[in-house]
Amino acid sequence: MKLIDAVKERLAPLKLVEWQAESEPPALPCVAYDAYEDAVVLLIVGQDQWHADQAAGAIFRLLNGWLPPRDVPRLRVAMTESGPDFPENIHSMQWYTLLRIEPKHFLSA
């Protein structure tokens, strides 16, 4: 199972959109992903810091298996960055949080 598939399965029915640099986030809150071979990075954008933190906390609990277990491998989740989404615009309250997800053990292909 690929890492991104494990993440999507654990977060179902939450829909993840692929993170593309030139695309605008759909609606807030937005959860986008960027998948690499050994990690997945989730970009969580909220209308303000509180909403982004609440969404990141819920996703963190789901991925770490603190809520009802799923048939997916254990994952390691870490918050890597958080801050205003548009720092040059002081009137924008949008906030982003990045979560990095790695397998806790080997995921077979």
* pLDDT tens by residue, the chain, 109 residues: 788 888 888 888 887 877 766 555 555 667 888 888 889 999 888 888 888 888 898 888 888 765 556 666 678 888 888 888 766 666 667 888 899 998 876 444 4
Residues in the chain: 109
- pLDDT of res. 109: 44
3-class SS at 7? Answer: helix
- pLDDT of res. 82: 86
- pLDDT of res. 17: 79
- Describe the strand order of the beta sheet including 17-18 as a list of residue ranges: 17-18, 30-35, 40-46, 95-103, 75-84
From the list 29, 41, 34, 35, the residue with the least C-alpha distance to 85 is: 29
pTM check: above 0.85 = no
3-class SS at 18? Answer: strand
